[in-house]
Amino acid sequence: MKTLALWVALAVAVVVAGSLAFVHFRTSTSALKQWVSPGALSSRHAYLANRCEACHEAGAGVAVANCTACHASSERLLGRQPTAFHASVQECATCHVEHERAPIRPLKMDHLELAKVGVRTLLRASGSDPDSAATLASLNQWLRTKSPAQLNAGSAREALNCAGCHDNRDPHLKRFGNDCAQCHTLESWTVARYQHPSPESKTCVQCHHPPPSHFMGHFSMVSQKFAGKPNARVDQCFECHNTTSWNDIVNVGFYKHH
């Protein structure tokens, strides 16, 4: 009899504790959300910390409609060449991530996932112009490779047309053509084991293009005089600049331009 009473008392205690916990979390929704949250949001989205429903839908995860409700109205952002493609991409969470447990910019660049997004986007588009068809064929060919790590320099040139996406942002001004894979890898835009030519090199213009100011009166009135090189030509970068930085002037030091 005592054992039964003990079990009844224990059951009542569990029910009461559960009820109190339920009431506590029900009256403190933010505490519940913080308990299940996988991590903090980035600084730009921090104001949504206790409003999970602003981005998520039950059983469906992050909803694109919730993203575009805030971001699609930014006409200036979507009008920029580097970001204009977002207007036709109906996926956000593939590349833009949150809850990374660190104050990072919510962007996770993965060429493999982005290629898949590109294929799905092109397939959804009505009609097919020659450029889009060529891009779709290139992406599909690349995706048939099991992993980007398996691409060697030769196959990367054939299977992935880098210029198809990066053409509008070519910092080399077409000097090196479209064969990006001869220097760059998919993992990083920096060139591994790159070593700048000797400071004595006189072929700077092979890679560097003089700024617009060097073709104006500013060059003779300011640049030449400051560097102490009144007879230097625009294509003789080595006369005034050191290879450490463009504003490290020979025999002068770092020049604060503005």
In this predicted structure, what is the pLDDT of residue 223?
A: 92
Q: Where are the domains of the chain?
A: 111-182, 204-254
Average pLDDT, the chain: 76
% of the chain exceeding 70 in pLDDT: 72
Per-residue pLDDT of 81-120, as tens digits, reads 667 778 778 888 888 888 876 656 667 777 778 888 888 8
In this predicted structure, what is the pLDDT of residue 27?
A: 44
The phi, psi pair for 61, rounded to 5°, reads 80, -155
Model pTM score: 0.53
Per-residue pLDDT of 181-213, as tens digits, reads 778 877 777 787 788 888 788 888 888 888 888
What number of other Cβ atoms are within 10 A of residue 124's Cβ? 10
Which SS3 state, helix, strand or coil, does residue 254 take?
strand
In this predicted structure, what is the pLDDT of residue 22?
A: 47
Mean pLDDT value of segment 126-141: 77
pLDDT beyond 60 at 65: yes
pLDDT beyond 90 at 233: yes
What number of other Cβ atoms are within 10 A of residue 221's Cβ? 10
Q: Which residue has the higher pLDDT, 6 or 57?
A: 57
The number of helices, as runs of H, and strands, as runs of E, in the chain is: 10, 4
Q: How confident is the model at residue 26 (pLDDT cuts 50, 70, 90)?
A: very low
